A and B are shown apart, each in its own frame.
Chain A
Amino acid sequence: MSEALIVARGLEKRFGPVQALRALDLEVRAGSTLAVIGPNGAGKSTLLRLLSGLTRPSGGVLRVGRNRGDRRSRRGQVGLIAHATFLYPALTARENLILAARLYGVANPSERTNALLEEQELTGVAERRAGGFSRGMAQRLSIARGLVHDPEIVLLDEPFSGLDPRAASRLAERVGALRTARRTVVLVTHDLARAAELADETLLLVRGESVALPSQAGRDAAALERHYREAVE
């Protein structure tokens, strides 16, 4: 049984009068993939922002990664691939990646950048400014950026939205590759079929609280959908 790489106990996040997350308990084992599903406003993105170290919890305990330490060590072990691409439009693809590599203290920024560009099939447009990229290209670049430091934990926030089928299946392959590489993945998605396909465990969030799902429901898309509808209505 591998260790739990993400542990949350009573995790809370308040924004003024609104409680985005309430008393969340969570455990994600190293090397496993967790799908987080739920309606809009459920707190899914908030959860990722907490896990990535962008935001501080309002209450509860959160341990992410191998050190018991502070948010900074958390940020070093986590790669976040969110809605926003974090890309600078005025910089080229290569420059964006080199910047990210240096922000994460990667040993050989240019080497790593070349490898990532190749992996994401962006070598041809490496010297083009990111501002001119299509949605698909920008997303591939933002994935490369999120993985620049080869993080142990990868967080993806609704990466499938807005992608054409080809790009979507390429992305699904990519997530699968992360699993093969024994990375710990937390995937927020509205696509229940993908969740069932890619995840080992599923977390259903409704209005900031986790709703219990029967253990095997996560692997069956139809069952997942049924439970989802029940919980939301």
Chain B
Amino acid sequence: MNVFLAVLWKDLLTEWRSRDRLVAMGLFAVLVVIVLYFAAPPGIGSEARAHVPGLLWVAYVFASVLGLNRAFALELENEALSGLALTPADRGWIFLGKAAASLLLLLIVQAAAAVVFALTFDVAIAPVALPFAAVAFLGALGLCSVGTLFAAIAVRTTFREVMLPLLLLPLMVPVILGSVRATNALLLDGALPGSALRLLLVTDAVFLIVSFISFEYVLDD
């Protein structure tokens, strides 16, 4: 537990000093939202309108991949990752620390992008802000859990930046589907569908457990 807090503190402190991850992710997410606006202008019809919330999640997924890649790029210098791997504690706590740091950064980015999204696409998020935040959190958790696991793997392959999305996206269907469904229902009907939430919760739980346990082997040399 102490190790978890130590790694979380280290990542957040490092990020606070340079703020480069946050700015890059935030800017990227906002850019994606704006580009998507031009790619899929709303007002075509109610059916097209129904797909709009999904676009926000496209921005979230891309931003998270950016942030996750960076999280481990920093660990390569001075073989710092091996330094972490030497801890006698369960390496799963290191995973949790890094995942939590990525999650916190992603939540901030999600909030900023949501604001831009609401303004650009003229969608009213404010009235359902709290449930929306809950869905955003669950989705982000799904992204950052196996995302952190795969980022630790990807950063030590030869095709680093490309490898992470290749590994992550095929497994993100439950997360994206659940999140988009829930967001859709929330923004269009004002209600939170239990089935989508259940899917997200189960997915997050499975991903967290698998990642926590496998991290031991990923940090080996």
Which positions in A face B, CB cutoff 8 Å? 49, 52-56, 72-73, 75-76, 78, 80, 82, 84-91, 95, 99-100, 102-105, 145
Contact A103/B6 with A55-B220, A84-B78 known, Cβ cut-off 8 Å: yes
Q: Which 8 A-B pairs have the closest CB atoms?
A: A86-B83, A76-B88, A84-B79, A102-B6, A103-B87, A75-B88, A90-B14, A54-B221
> Chain B interface: which size bin?
20 to 34
Nearest CB of A to B78, in Å: 5
B82: contacting residue among A54, A56, A99, A105, CB under 8 A? A54
Query: Does B80 interact with chain A (Cβ within 8 Å)?
Result: yes
Q: Are A88 and B90 in contact (CB under 8 A)?
A: no
Of the A-B pairs whose beta carbons lie under 8 Å apart in the complex, a sample of 27, sorted by A's number, is A49-B221, A54-B85, A54-B221, A75-B86, A75-B87, A78-B86, A82-B79, A82-B82, A85-B78, A86-B83, A87-B80, A87-B83, A88-B14, A88-B77, A88-B78, A88-B80, A89-B78, A90-B13, A90-B14, A91-B13, A95-B10, A99-B9, A100-B83, A102-B6, A103-B7, A103-B89, A105-B88
Query: Does B2 interact with chain A (Cβ within 8 Å)?
Result: yes
B3: contacting residue among A84, A90, A103, CB under 8 A? A103
Nearest CB of B to A233, in Å: 31
Q: Are B14 and A104 in contact (CB under 8 A)?
A: no
Contact A88/B10 with A52-B86, A80-B86, A102-B2 known, Cβ cut-off 8 Å: yes
Query: Does B84 interact with chain A (Cβ within 8 Å)?
Result: yes
Q: Which chain A residues border B220 with CB–CB below 8 Å?
A: 54-56
Could you count the A-B residue pairs with CB atoms below 8 Å apart for me: how many are there?
A: 78
Grouping DSSP codes into helix (H, G, I), strand (E, B) and loop, the B interface class, with mixed when no group exceeds half, is helix
Q: Which chain A residues border B83 with CB–CB below 8 Å?
A: 84, 86-87, 100, 145
Q: Which chain B residues border A85 with CB–CB below 8 Å?
A: 78-79
In Å, the complex CA distance between A72 and B219 comes to 13
Q: Which chain A residues border B18 with CB–CB below 8 Å?
A: 90
In Å, the complex CA distance between A59 and B86 comes to 21
Interface centre among A76, A95, A99 (most CB of B within 10 A): A99
A73: contacting residue among B17, B79, B88, B90, CB under 8 A? B88
| Interface residues in B1-39 (C-beta closer than 8 Å to A) | 2-3, 5-7, 9-10, 13-14, 17-18
Residue-wise, chain B 141-152 has the 8 Å CB interface mask toward A (1 for contact) of 000000000000
Q: Which chain B residues border A103 with CB–CB below 8 Å?
A: 3, 6-7, 84, 86-87, 89
